[in-house]
Amino acid sequence: AHALVWFRRDLRLADNPALLAALDAGLAPVPVYIHAPEEESPWEPGAASRVWLDRSLRALDADLRARGSRLILRRGDSLAELERLVAETGAVSVYWNRLYEPACIARDRRVERALRALGLGAESHNAALLIEPWAVKTGQGEPYRVFTPFWRKARQTLVDVRPADAPVRLPAPPEGLASLEADGLGLRPPPGQPRWDRGFWSFWTPGEAGAQDLLEAFLDGAVHGYREQRNLPDRVGTSRLSPHLHFGEISPRQVVARLRGGEWPAELRQDVEHFLGELGWREFGHHLLFHFPHMAQENLDPRFRRFAWAEPDPALLAAWRRGRTGVPLVDAGMRELWATGWMHNRVRMVTASFLTKNLRYHWRHGAEWFWNTLVDADLANNSQGWQWSAGTGADAAPYFRIFSPPAQARKFDPRGAYIRRWLPELAGLPDEALAAPWEHAELCRRLAPDYPLRPIVDLKASREAALAAYSGAGAAA
């Protein structure tokens, strides 16, 4: 008998519990992907996520074909398509891996109930997290709101993590079972539209093999000295696994097992532990979103309910988006994002602080732009990152943490290599002028005539104004 394996953001064959469960039950899995972006509304996948997904689905199909199967692509209402596929294949049950966004949880519950009502098996598994969001509780039985105790507890569960290998062969789905072409999902920019993603693909290889290659490259390279190097945006000092983790092309369990399998010298253990802690932040983000599902739109800290955000000036918001603020580290980050679909974490914090503190725009404006432009756009991590930066989150940066972009540039990009890479119009300036070119107006007029002479907002005055507004909101309490 057949079983449907409903792929969503678990686009891999190794360590895929839903796929394995179907095989273990002695059923022939029919791999299915149903494109139904409306069901994730209001957070339908953004443009950068869609172009990634397009490639990831093609990679999954190729991996399935290499094992004798193929991916059945459909589009439309998930439940209606699953029911249709059950009728077409005679499948007796449906297997999938869980998602944790509120809209997906609601949809999946509805699907599960409907399938069971039809007398079908409906079974979900955990493929995305090291530990389920409901499995970690404080002594009082409450969800955690602070990272450190959360991770101290969750970290203890990471013993004997054994991801499963990919099946070597898979049965072919029933002959003649209809599938859309990948082009039929409309994930790529339509013909005639600018191919803004063209620059992405020298940086990224979506799919399971690309994810494994990055993990191995990380273990050979950036994990050494990760604790220090991870803050330096001009180099490959981190794993860049975030989009692969988001789409489930690799599981955190696989990453952990590979990290712990190494015979690490004593000095590397701290780097490995620090990296595990970053995976812990990912777990924490999902924990928060599960327990506080409003956090994608609303401040987690209720003291900000009536906070006096500034009404965005469309020209200034556009300058931030396109990297034309006149503040080099901010602009370099925003251009890296546009060109590659990714931005270094240190610079994400600086650009977010600039938007929410110096411009004092609601973090949602930033979260929405990131949502559309990041290939790793992830509702849990993005909401957490923005609320942390804005100071409105559960375990947020203190309100007086307002990053000074020039100070951050001097500290983490001291030779200006990152700024020069993304802002070629500043390449001719001497190193010491790159962090705050407006302090060298004469030089800039001569050597960087194409760059704004002054920042769109006075950094010092806006910092003072933000401090006053934040302490007025009671955030200082």
Write out the catalytic residue numbers.
Answer: 278, 281, 309, 345, 363, 386
Q: Which residues pair with 94 in a beta bridge?
A: 4, 122
3-state secondary structure at position 384:
helix
CA distance 146 to 132: 17
Please say which residue, 393 or 437, places its beta carbon nearer to ligand FAD.
393
Task: Give the binding site for ligand FAD (CB under 6 A).
Answer: 230, 238-242, 245-246, 278-279, 281-282, 285, 345, 348-349, 352, 370, 374, 376-378, 381-382, 384-386, 389
The tokens describing 366, both together, are 């930033």
Crossing angle between the packed helical segments 405-412 and 328-340, to the nearest 10 degrees: 70
Smallest separation, CB 353 to ligand FAD (Å): 9
B/e letters for 205-216, b = 16+ CB within 10 Å, e = fewer, are bbbbebbbebbe
Q: Is 434 annotated as a binding residue?
A: no
For ligand FAD, the closer of residues 124 and 381 by Cβ is: 381
Is 376 marked within a binding site? yes
- Angle subtended at Cα 208 by Cα 241 and Cα 195, rounded to the nearest 5 degrees: 75
CB 367, min distance to ligand FAD, A = 7
Residue 239 among known ligand-binding residues: yes
Does the annotation flag 180 for ligand binding?
A: no
**251 labelled binding-site residue:** no
Give least dist CB 114 to ligand FAD, A. Answer: 31
**Three-class SS of residue 35?**
strand
Minimum separation from the CB atom of position 410 to ligand FAD (A): 20
What SS3 state is found at 59?
helix
Q: How many residues does the chain have?
A: 477
Cβ-based nearer residue to ligand FAD, 8 or 74:
8
Pairing label, strands 93-97, 121-125: parallel
Of the two residues 31 and 252, which places its CB atom closer to ligand FAD in the complex? 252
Q: Which is nearer to ligand FAD, 39 or 378 (CB)?
A: 378
Smallest distance, Å, CB 337 to ligand FAD? 10
Does 399 carry a binding-site annotation? no
* Complete edge-to-edge strand list for the sheet that includes strand 72-75: 72-75, 28-35, 2-7, 93-97, 121-125
DSSP 394-443: TTPPPTT----HHHHHHHHSTT-HHHHHH-GGGTTS-GGGSS-GGGGHHH
Rounded-to-integer distance, Cα 320 and Cα 316, Å: 6
Between 19 and 337, name the residue whose CB sits nearer to ligand FAD.
337
Name the residue number minimizing CB distance to ligand FAD: 385
Q: How far is the CB of 235 from ligand FAD (least distance, A)?
A: 11
Please name the amino acid found at residue 15.
Answer: D
Spatial contact of 80 and 110, defined as CB atoms under 8 Å apart: no
Q: Confirm whether residue 202 is marked as ligand binding.
A: no
Angle between the N-to-C axes of helices 328-340 and 314-322, in degrees from 0 to 180, rounded to the nearest 10: 70
Close Cβ partners of 58 (under 8 Å, ≥ 6 residues apart): 182, 207
Q: How far is the CB of 320 from ligand FAD (least distance, A)?
A: 13
Radius of gyration of the chain from Cα atoms? 24
369 token code pair: 């732009």
> Rounded CA gap, 340 and 361, in Å?
25
- The annotation status of 450 as a binding-site residue, yes or no, is no
Q: Judge whether 318 is annotated as a binding position.
A: no
Query: Which residues are documented as binding site?
Result: 226, 238-242, 275, 376-378
Binding residues for FAD: 226, 238-242, 275, 376-378
